[in-house]
A and B are shown apart, each in its own frame.
Chain A
Amino acid sequence: MSITLDFNGKNFAKGKNLDVHYLPAKIDGDGEANVENCFNNYTREATEFGPGILTNALRGYPLMGEKLKVPEGYRGLVLQETEKPISDTSDRKLRLTGVFQDFTYWNYDKVPSNGDPYRQALLLPDVAQALSQPISEEDLEAEIARNKENAKESP
């Protein structure tokens, strides 16, 4: 089975900038949502909780959120699959429907903080970079030298 991501540089650059919300709820449904009138209309700043903190509610549940940027060097993409694969082994095709550079992150009744799973998960780009960056001969030697230095000092 292969998965094709159907977009190129052109429609990537042209892609609609989407208004994306990260909600603390699982919504069992798929389709259009009247975000502007039913949700964005009610977003308010709540500076008493900190700079940039926003409040709103979803079906009566209080939300606290903030506007976040996609990590540096990354782009947010929304992909859509128009035809569901017939079986697990058939090929799949995902189409680009829009891009985003920032989005609104919402917590259920909690001021966004470093304790949020999302913020913790964002360490991954750093880890990924550390793991995939090529290491040169000099870097290696420098590291060995540093280790020796440390070994001398410790006993």
Chain B
Amino acid sequence: MSDQEDLVVKKEYKSIENIDENDEDPDDVDLKDGGKIDSLKALGPFIASKENSRNTVYLSDVPDICKDKPCMLGVDEAGRGPVLGPMVYGISYCPLESNKALEDLGCADSKQLTEGKRDIIFNDINTKEYATSCVGWAVEIISPNTISTSMYRRSKCSLNEVSMDSAMGLIQQAIDAGVNIAEVYVDTVGPPEKYQEKLLKRFPNFKITVAKKADSTYPIVSAASICAKVTRDHALKVWSFPEGLVIKDNEFGSGYPGDPVTRRFLTEYIDLVFGFPRLVRFSWSTAENALADKAYDMEFDEPDSEKPKYAGTKLTKFFKGTTKSGEEIREECRFFKQRHLENVMEF
């Protein structure tokens, strides 16, 4: 079943691309106007219609019941470790009393589910009446370009910060959309205490639980996890390279450094100047090492924080005024020095 569905997804994706080309509007279209995801089939075309060098947020419609009844909300991520592709944050929510719907959907431990099963559950969440009437969800696709540039900023922003910002941003958007949140459950890989503290500070009115492997403990986190994982898988499937690369069936493997397909991709598609296509997270050490070996060396402006600290006047300073033969060394005129101007003798 999934094979056929993929074909359909690809065809639709192509037609959307064509529409985009004809309709040359350089300005950003409002994210929410890009279409609605009302089934699994709509997910691929939606992602493909977005710029893959930027982040994309999608919010499902909020079921009316979620605006009245107190809700629980689950948060999970997909694609944190791989060296390529986006990282996706997902949330899902439903009234506290709607646990039955989650059970019927089959939202158990998402890691135990196969890709096909996850696809089916995702489709059910968006099509089955018993689910759409009480379960809502949202995802943020954090582009690999954003991940690299965040981690390579002058004041570095770690992946943890990127993650927390995304999670809190999604919760905030759910609040703004009118979801009556009472309890929040978050899956984490790092130490839960710090994360919990930060979330409580931002959202003091919710009962917040941060736990490892929350996606196997809480069905609502499992639902969020499924939305995130399915979105990441589709984002990779429909990835089109602005660099002009065409890779058959988008075969770049799992993105984990141990995967031979990924390793081959990383060695084959290196541009001497620009490095990898921006599907790759440049800030991963796997990517850094591959570039150090294969591409031109590139040296950036030193980040501000790495400047050597001033440690007082050096003793040798007093011997520097003359050359060995006793000639006076003339310091360059301050006017030119401050303006970074110097004599050029050679071309």
Q: Tell me, in angstroms, the Cα distance from A34 to B241 when the chains sit together.
A: 14
Q: Which of A25, A34, A94, A123 contacts B300 (CB 8 A)?
A: A25
Residues of chain A within 8 A of B299, CB atoms compared:
25-26, 28
Closest to B278 in A: A42
Interface check A52, CB cutoff 8 A: no
Q: Which of A39, A60, A79 contacts B149 (CB 8 A)?
A: A60
Q: Tell me, in angstroms, the Cα distance from A110 to B299 when the chains sit together.
A: 17
A109 touches B272 (CB 8 A): no
| Inter-chain residue pair count (beta carbon < 8 A) | 99
Q: Tell me, in angstroms, the Cα distance from A27 to B277 when the chains sit together.
A: 18
Q: Do most interface residues of chain B lie in helix, strand or loop, or is the interface mixed?
A: loop
Q: Tell me, in angstroms, the Cα distance from A31 to B287 when the chains sit together.
A: 23
Interface check B110, CB cutoff 8 A: no
B298 touches A26 (CB 8 A): yes
Q: Hey, what's the 0/1 contact readout for A1-44 against B, CB within 8 Å counting as 1?
A: 00100000000000000000000111111010110011101101
Q: Tell me, in angstroms, the Cα distance from A27 to B300 when the chains sit together.
A: 9
Interface check A58, CB cutoff 8 A: yes
For chain B, give the interface size range.
35 or more
* Closest-CB distance, A108 to chain B (whole angstroms): 4
- Complex interface residues of chain B between 253 and 281 (CB less than 8 A to chain A): 271-275, 277-278, 281
State whether A57 and B148 are in contact (beta carbons under 8 Å apart), knowing that A33-B274, A108-B301 are contacts in the complex: yes
B149 touches A62 (CB 8 A): yes
Q: Tell me, in angstroms, the Cα distance from A42 to B199 when the chains sit together.
A: 34
- Selecting from B159-167, B310-318, B337-345, the interface stretch reads B337-345
Interface check A120, CB cutoff 8 A: yes
Closest to A39 in B: B274
State whether A37 and B298 are in contact (beta carbons under 8 Å apart), knowing that A60-B282, A121-B341, A124-B341 are contacts in the complex: no
Interface check B286, CB cutoff 8 A: no
Interface check B203, CB cutoff 8 A: no
* Closest-CB distance, B309 to chain A (whole angstroms): 21
Q: Which of B148, B274, B277, B347 contacts A79 (CB 8 A)?
A: B347
Residues of chain A within 8 A of B282, CB atoms compared:
59-61
B154 touches A109 (CB 8 A): yes
For chain A, give the interface size range.
35 or more
- Complex interface residues of chain A between 108 and 140 (CB less than 8 A to chain B): 108-110, 117, 120-121, 123-124
* Closest-CB distance, B241 to chain A (whole angstroms): 9
Q: Do most interface residues of chain A lie in helix, strand or loop, or is the interface mixed?
A: mixed
Q: Which of B243, B287, B339 contacts A121 (CB 8 A)?
A: B339
Residues of chain A within 8 A of B81, CB atoms compared:
none
B301 touches A24 (CB 8 A): yes
Q: Tell me, in angstroms, the Cα distance from A41 to B243 when the chains sit together.
A: 8
Q: Which of A58, A109, A124 contacts B274 (CB 8 A)?
A: A58
List of 4 A-B pairs having minimum Cβ-Cβ separation, nearest first: A60-B282, A60-B148, A29-B296, A62-B149
Give me 18 A-to-B residue pairs in the complex whose CB atoms sit less than 8 angstroms apart, sorted by A's number.
A24-B301, A27-B296, A27-B298, A28-B298, A34-B243, A38-B271, A38-B277, A39-B274, A41-B243, A42-B53, A44-B54, A57-B278, A58-B274, A60-B282, A94-B347, A109-B152, A109-B154, A117-B339
In the complex, besides A25-B300, A58-B298, A60-B281, 9 extra interface pairs with C-beta distance below 8 angstroms are A3-B347, A27-B298, A29-B272, A34-B243, A37-B244, A61-B149, A61-B152, A120-B339, A121-B339
Interface residues of B (CB under 8 A from A): 53-54, 145, 148-149, 151-154, 242-244, 271-275, 277-278, 281-283, 287, 291, 296-301, 338-341, 347
